[in-house]
C-alpha cells in the first residue's frame, strides 16, 4: 500500500511481506538514478578527496600519498589568494547588485506600463543566451578604441580604455556581464512573488498615508524575504559556477586579475595537467558549497516558511 497510515500495532505475515515488497520496489525504482549519481557524484566526490591527498604523478615518479602537502602548497601560492580574493569580490558585487536590479526590474515589469511585454522580454532575454554568446556580444562593447563604449566616450573626447586588458578594470568588466546575464533570471522569481501579494495591502498602505518607499521597505521587502533568500542561495552558487565568459573575454588575465576559482581548477587540471592541486582546490570549493547547503537546510528553511 502507498504511504497511508501504515499499521504499526501488529505485523501479520502478509503485511510484513507487503512491506518488504514495497521496499524492494522502492529500491528498484531508485536504482538507475542511484547508479548514475554514484558514478558522477558520490564516487567522484570521494575520489576528489582521495586524489587531493596524493602528489602529482609523472611518468617517472608515480603519485604517492603526501597528506596535506597539496593544500599547504596552495595556501603558500600567492596566486591562490589572488584567485580567492577575485572570487570574493566577484561574489560580493554580483550577488547584491543582481538581486537589487532584479527587484527593480520585477517592480517595473509588474507595474501597469505601456509596452510591458517588451520590457519583460528585454529583461529576460539574456537568461536564455549561452554565456559564451553573451561574452561575444560584450566583447564588442569592450574592444579598446573600436568598441561601443570607447566609440561613445570618444564623442566626449575621452581617451580609449582597454577595459579587459588592464588589471584595474578587467574584473569589473566581467562583473558587468554577469550581472547583465543574471538579473533578468532573478527578476522572474520576484515577479512571481509579487503576483501573490494581495493588492489591498497597497491600498491599505496608501490609506494610512504611507509613501512608496515606506510601502516598499515596510511591506514588500519583508513579504519578499523568502524569495530573496532563495535568490541569494542561487546567486551564491552562480558566483562559483558562472565562468564561461572568462574563456572568451580574458582567459583569467591580465596577470590573474580575472581568474576565478572554477576557472583556475579547469586551468590546473586541463592546461597545466596538475590534477593534484586541482583536486585540493576542488575539495575547498566542495566544503564551501557544503557549508552553503547546511546553511540553507538548517537556517534558511527553518526561519523562512516556504511554500
Q: Which of residues 60-89 bind another protein (CB under 8 A)?
A: none
Number of residues that bind another protein (CB under 8 A): 105
Write down the least CB distance from residue 59 to another protein, Å: 18
Can you tell me which of 16, 217, 218, 241 binds another protein, judged by CB under 8 A? 241
The stretch among 32-40, 64-72, 77-85, 165-173 that binds another protein (CB under 8 A) is 32-40
How many whole angstroms separate alpha carbon 267 and alpha carbon 278?
A: 8
Please tell me whether residue 285 binds another protein under the rule CB under 8 A: yes
Cell reading at 304: 523562512
251-270 positions binding another protein, by CB under 8 A: 262, 265-266, 269-270
The stretch among 87-95, 165-173, 252-260, 280-288 that binds another protein (CB under 8 A) is 280-288
Please tell me whether residue 243 binds another protein under the rule CB under 8 A: yes
Can you tell me which of 11, 15, 17, 36 binds another protein, judged by CB under 8 A? 36
Please tell me whether residue 229 binds another protein under the rule CB under 8 A: no
Q: Which of 169, 295, 187 has the alpha carbon at shortest distance from 236? A: 295
Please tell me whether residue 47 binds another protein under the rule CB under 8 A: yes
Q: Which residues of 9-33 are buried (b: 16+ CB within 10 A; e: fewer)?
A: eeeeeeeeeeeeeeeeeeeeeeeee
| Closer by beta carbon to another protein, 79 or else 151 | 151
Q: Interface mask (CB under 8 A) for another protein, residues 155-174, using x and -?
A: --------------------
Write down the least CB distance from residue 43 to another protein, Å: 7
Please tell me whether residue 138 binds another protein under the rule CB under 8 A: yes
Write down the least CB distance from residue 137 to another protein, Å: 4
Query: Using only C-alpha atoms, what is the Rg of the chain?
Result: 26
Exposed, middle or buried by CB within 10 Å (0-12, 13-18, 19+), for 193?
A: buried
How many whole angstroms separate alpha carbon 251 and alpha carbon 234?
A: 24
| Residue located via cell numbers 541569494 | 232
97-136 positions binding another protein, by CB under 8 A: 104-105, 108-109, 111-115, 117-134, 136
Please tell me whether residue 30 binds another protein under the rule CB under 8 A: yes
Amino acid at each position: 500500500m502507498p504511504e497511508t497510515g501504515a499499521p504499526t500495532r501488529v505485523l501479520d505475515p502478509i503485511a510484513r511481506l507487503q512491506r518488504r515488497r514495497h521496499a524492494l520496489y522502492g529500491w528498484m525504482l531508485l536504482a538507475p538514478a542511484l547508479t548514475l549519481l554514484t558514478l558522477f557524484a558520490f564516487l567522484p566526490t570521494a575520489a576528489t578527496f582521495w586524489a587531493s591527498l596524493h602528489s602529482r604523478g609523472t611518468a617517472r615518479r608515480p603519485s604517492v600519498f603526501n597528506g596535506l602537502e597539496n593544500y599547504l602548497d596552495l595556501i603558500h601560492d600567492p596566486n591562490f589568494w589572488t584567485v580567492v580574493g577575485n572570487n570574493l569580490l566577484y561574489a560580493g558585487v554580483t550577488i547584491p547588485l543582481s538581486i537589487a536590479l532584479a527587484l527593480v526590474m520585477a517592480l517595473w515589469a509588474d507595474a501597469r506600463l505601456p509596452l510591458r511585454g517588451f520590457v519583460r522580454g528585454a529583461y529576460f532575454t539574456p537568461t536564455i543566451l549561452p554565456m559564451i554568446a553573451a561574452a561575444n556580444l560584450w566583447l564588442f562593447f569592450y574592444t579598446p578604441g573600436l568598441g561601443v563604449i570607447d566609440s561613445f566616450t570618444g564623442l566626449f573626447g575621452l581617451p580609449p580604455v582597454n577595459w579587459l586588458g588592464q588589471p584595474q578594470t578587467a574584473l569589473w568588466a566581467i562583473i558587468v556581464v554577469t550581472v547583465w546575464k543574471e538579473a533578468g533570471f532573478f527578476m522572474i522569481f520576484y515577479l512571481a512573488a509579487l503576483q501573490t501579494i494581495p493588492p489591498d495591502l497597497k491600498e491599505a498602505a496608501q490609506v494610512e498615508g504611507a509613501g512608496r518607499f515606506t510601502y516598499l521597505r515596510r511591506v514588500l521587502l519583508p513579504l519578499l524575504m523568502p524569495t530573496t533568500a532563495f535568490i541569494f542561495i542561487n546567486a551564491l552558487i552562480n558566483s562559483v559556477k558562472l565562468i564561461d565568459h572568462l574563456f572568451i573575454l580574458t582567459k583569467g588575465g591580465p596577470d590573474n586579475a580575472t581568474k576565478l576559482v572554477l576557472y583556475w581548477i579547469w586551468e590546473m587540471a586541463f592546461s597545466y595537467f596538475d590534477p593534484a592541486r586541482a583536486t585540493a582546490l576542488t575539495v575547498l570549493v566542495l566544503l564551501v558549497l557544503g557549508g552553503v547547503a547546511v546553511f540553507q537546510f538548517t537556517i534558511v528553511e527553518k526561519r523562512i516558511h516556504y511554500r
